Amino acid sequence: MNKKAGILVSFSLMLLTGCWGRQEIENIGLVVGVGIDIKEEKLEERKRPSLIFTNQFVVPGVIAGEKTGGGSADKKPFDNLTLEESTLFEGVVETSNMTSRSPSYAHLKVIMIGEDAARSVNMLQLLSFFFVIMMFAGRYI
């Protein structure tokens, strides 16, 4: 009897382990490209230059080839969002605030860094920021 009860309890526990951290794909903004540059004007005047931070989001419906009623036939399969912030972290947080979907950097393929940004920003800190974001289990901000 104890063996049957143990098997029943084990089976019941396996059913209770659902996906509590699940995110619907419709609520996630898949970022596939990031561009970082420094605002050209006032570059010499500011101690901390303002960053121009661009995210490229995938539009899943256009990539899948869905027919949209009333939309243009030549809609691009991506949306770009450009912000100007003083730090990279502020740019990522503001991106989350400005979009209806939580940005996910799990599918990030390209990080483009402008020449001025590459000369004035610590590249190790810049790239490690994205590596840390991509290593988190949730990957949503």
In tens, the pLDDT along 35-63 reads: 999 887 654 565 666 889 999 999 877 76
Q: Give which of 112, 134, 139 is closest to 51, Cα–Cα.
A: 112
How far is residue 109 from each of residues 19, 86, 106, 112, 136, measured CA to CA in Å?
A: 27, 24, 9, 10, 17
How many Å apart are CA 112 and CA 118, to the nearest integer?
10
59-118 pLDDT, tens digit per residue, is: 877 766 665 554 555 778 889 999 998 888 888 889 889 988 888 888 888 999 999 888
Note the pTM of the prediction, 2 decimals.
Answer: 0.69
10-32 pLDDT, tens digit per residue, is: 888 877 766 666 777 778 888 99
C-beta of residue 76 within 8 angstroms of C-beta of residue 52: no
